[in-house]
């Protein structure tokens, strides 16, 4: 078990952040079914993406690394994947499991998706049910609600589906299945979930289109073109540094080349609404995604109320937003975020329990939490519960708390942010 120990202090300097996890997963999975060789630069070498890489290789796809940070994915075409001889282990990665369920449902072979103890607790019915409506043959624990899932690939029918929750994983899974269906797949999303799949598949020539909240996909008449992309920095990783620098007095930080897709950057809007001193400049484009540099200086924050459709644009950032809220004047209310309960951990329960150990005034609600501030946090021993985003949110709290904070179970951090402790140390944090 790894423990990170932190003392309070500002963040100073300039840094890039690791590549986007969601985009890296998609580059591997979509590159696998392209016709030809995809080039992917600056991919994320994190635990979750390694799981996807291993699975893609088990499906017969050659992936080489000709230079550091670069992949060549030898796509096998829409119908060229091979039956895996072994169970496909998605380890801790919900994105891997749910996107693969959609991709594998329409193949001409049998496959089994498995995962870690943590992933085996997470709901799969959200993809299994609509895929079954398309005719997919999927069996699993508790009637297919939990991994492992056994998928007997077959030809699929079209679907009209109103998604009960705004989820990019569900939407992407159904779009992938749509590439193998006889009819049209039309999904209506209740909120603007991240749209990386739509952008990337459309760039590959897949027949994907959107009218308002309705997305459609169908079997392509032509092979999918290979990708040539540079993965932008992950806004969700930048979020931890952003909150630390927004709150730790004396901080001046620039984060370069960060993906600022509007469906991902809800935290930026929320922090600015709270009074944070953040500017976004040096706009660019990478892999069909907008990028920019974020400059942040510490400032006093005020509380905010968040709910409704905007929640999906910052769902992964809510644990670290709770940390920012402990430093904001007033009562911050987060509602409509019940999805937090089915992430790597029940992030409402774990965030509340661990931040309380540091003296935060935070209360759980069925669909969110309420934080009163500002609070002088006090260093203590806290636990990640095996959840990378909780571990990093607690580390940020450690940069704000009096005395030393020890984050136990920090070995999960490289699931999404390899080199997190080194990055903080380079920016002047007292961390060991
Ligand atoms: C992801 C979608 C989100 C997000 C997860 C990554 C993706 O999950 O929380 O970290 O890459 O599609 P949901 O689809 O469950 O909202």
Identify whether residues 204 and 324 lie together within a single domain: no
- The residues carrying an active-site annotation are 316
Identify whether residues 278 and 390 lie together within a single domain: yes
Identify whether residues 201 and 84 lie together within a single domain: yes
- Take residue 63 and report the two structure tokens written for it: 């992936």
Identify whether residues 248 and 377 lie together within a single domain: yes
Domain-terminating residue out of 225, 242, 260: 225
- The rounded Å distance from CA 167 to ligand 1 centre is 6
Identify whether residues 96 and 188 lie together within a single domain: yes
Q: In whole angstroms, give the CA distance from residue 1 to residue 248.
A: 28
Ligand 1, residue 343: give the atom nearest the CA: 9
Sequence-ordered list of residues with C-beta below 8 angstroms from that of 201, at least 6 positions apart, any chain: 30, 175, 179, 208, 217, 224
Q: Would you call 193 helix, strand, or coil by DSSP?
A: coil
Domain-terminating residue out of 225, 241, 261: 225
Number of structural domains in the chain: 2
Location of structure tokens 């935060």? 360
Question: Phi, psi (5° rounding) for residue 322?
Answer: -60, -35
Query: Contact at 8 Å (CB) between 191 and 309?
Result: yes
- CA dist list (Å): 423 to 16, 20, 356, 402, 412: 9, 16, 26, 21, 16
Cβ(416) – ligand 1 distance below 6 Å: no
Identify whether residues 26 and 14 lie together within a single domain: no
Sequence-ordered list of residues with C-beta below 8 angstroms from that of 84, at least 6 positions apart, any chain: 55, 58, 59, 111
Identify whether residues 163 and 302 lie together within a single domain: no
Neighbours of 45 (CB within 10 A): 17
Peptide bond into 374 cis (omega under 30): yes
- Which pLDDT value is given to residue 287? 84
Euclidean distance between the first and final Cα of the chain, in Å? Answer: 14
Cβ(24) – ligand 1 distance below 6 Å: no
Identify whether residues 298 and 254 lie together within a single domain: yes
Identify whether residues 215 and 94 lie together within a single domain: yes
Q: In whole angstroms, give the CA distance from residue 198 to residue 215.
A: 9
Identify whether residues 392 and 255 lie together within a single domain: yes
Domain-terminating residue out of 225, 242, 259: 225
Query: Contact at 8 Å (CB) between 97 and 125?
Result: no
Cβ(189) – ligand 1 distance below 6 Å: no
- The rounded Å distance from CA 98 to ligand 1 centre is 10
Ligand 1, residue 315: give the atom nearest the CA: 9
Q: In whole angstroms, give the CA distance from residue 191 to residue 321.
A: 20
- Take residue 192 and report the two structure tokens written for it: 């603007």
Ligand 1, residue 99: give the atom nearest the CA: 12
- Take residue 168 and report the two structure tokens written for it: 């990019």
pTM exceeding the 0.85 threshold for the entire prediction: yes
Q: In whole angstroms, give the CA distance from residue 70 to residue 364.
A: 43
pLDDT tens, N- to C-terminus, the chain (432 residues)? 999 999 999 999 999 999 999 999 999 999 999 999 999 999 999 999 999 999 999 999 999 999 999 999 999 999 999 999 999 999 999 999 999 999 999 999 999 999 999 999 999 999 999 999 999 999 999 999 999 999 999 999 999 999 999 999 999 999 999 999 999 999 999 999 999 999 999 999 999 999 999 999 999 999 999 999 999 999 999 999 999 999 999 999 999 999 999 999 999 999 999 999 999 999 999 889 999 999 999 999 999 999 999 999 999 999 999 999 999 999 999 999 999 999 999 999 999 999 999 999 999 999 999 999 999 999 999 999 999 999 999 999 999 999 999 999 999 999 999 999 999 999 999 999
- Nearest Cα residue to 25 out of 8, 9, 4, 40: 40
Domain containing residue 398: CATH number: 3.65.10.10
Location of structure tokens 């209740």? 190
Identify whether residues 161 and 221 lie together within a single domain: yes
Query: What is the 8-class DSSP label of residue 255?
Result: E
Question: Phi, psi (5° rounding) for residue 181?
Answer: -105, 155
Q: Would you call 357 helix, strand, or coil by DSSP?
A: helix
- The rounded Å distance from CA 153 to ligand 1 centre is 24
Range of the structural domain that residue 100 is part of: 21-225
Identify whether residues 178 and 239 lie together within a single domain: no
| Cα angle for residues 119, 125, 128 (degrees, 5° grid) | 105
Cβ(315) – ligand 1 distance below 6 Å: yes
Q: In terms of DSSP bridges, do strands 368-373 and 88-89 run parallel, antiparallel, or are they unpaired?
A: unpaired
Location of structure tokens 């430093």? 327
Sequence-ordered list of residues with C-beta below 8 angstroms from that of 211, at least 6 positions apart, any chain: none
- CA dist list (Å): 298 to 62, 243, 416: 46, 9, 25
């Amino acid at each position: 078990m790894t423990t990170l120990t932190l003392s309070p202090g500002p963040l100073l300097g300039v840094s890039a952040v690791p590549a986007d996890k969601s985009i890296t997963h998609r580059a591997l999975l979509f590159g696998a079914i392209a016709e030809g060789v995809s080039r992917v630069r600056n991919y994320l070498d994190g635990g979750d993406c390694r799981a996807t890489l291993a699975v893609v290789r088990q499906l017969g796809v050659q992936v080489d690394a000709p230079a550091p940070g670069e992949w060549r994915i030898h796509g096998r075409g829409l119908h060229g994947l091979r039956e895996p001889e072994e169970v496909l282990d998605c380890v801790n990665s919900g994105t891997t499991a749910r996107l693969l369920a959609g991709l594998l449902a329409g193949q001409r072979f049998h496959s089994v998706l498995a995962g870690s103890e943590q992933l085996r607790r997470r709901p799969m019915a959200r993809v299994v049910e609509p895929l079954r409506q398309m005719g997919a043959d999927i069996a699993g624990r508790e009637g297919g609600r939990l991994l492992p899932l056994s998928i007997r690939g077959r030809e699929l029918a079209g679907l009209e589906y109103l998604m009960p929750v705004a989820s990019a994983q569900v939407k992407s899974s159904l779009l992938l299945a749509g590439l193998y269906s006889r009819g049209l797949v039309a999904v209506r999303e209740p909120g603007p979930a991240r749209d990386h799949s739509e952008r990337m598949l459309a760039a590959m020539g897949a027949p994907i289109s959107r009218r308002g909240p309705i997305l459609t996909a169908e079997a392509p008449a032509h092979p999918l073109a290979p990708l040539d992309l540079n993965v932008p920095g992950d806004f969700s990783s930048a979020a931890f540094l952003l909150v630390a620098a927004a709150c730790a007095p004396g901080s001046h930080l620039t984060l370069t080349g960060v993906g600022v897709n509007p469906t991902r950057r809800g935290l930026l809007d929320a922090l600015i609404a709270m009074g944070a001193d953040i500017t976004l400049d040096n706009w660019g484009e990478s892999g069909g995604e907008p990028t920019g540099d974020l400059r942040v200086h510490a400032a006093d924050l005020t509380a905010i109320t968040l709910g409704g459709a905007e929640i999906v644009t910052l769902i992964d950032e809510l644990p670290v937003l709770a940390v920012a809220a402990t430093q904001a004047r007033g009562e911050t209310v987060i509602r409509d975020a019940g999805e937090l309960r089915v992430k790597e951990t029940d992030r409402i329960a774990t965030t509340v329990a661990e931040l309380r150990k540091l003296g935060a005034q935070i209360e759980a609600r069925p669909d969110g939490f309420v934080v009163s501030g500002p609070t002088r946090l006090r260093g203590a021993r806290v636990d990640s519960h095996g959840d990378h985003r909780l571990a990093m949110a607690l580390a940020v709290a450690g940069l704000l708390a009096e005395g030393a904070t020890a984050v136990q179970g920090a070995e999960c951090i490289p699931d999404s942010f390899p080199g997190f402790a080194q990055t903080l140390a380079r920016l002047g944090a007292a961390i060991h």
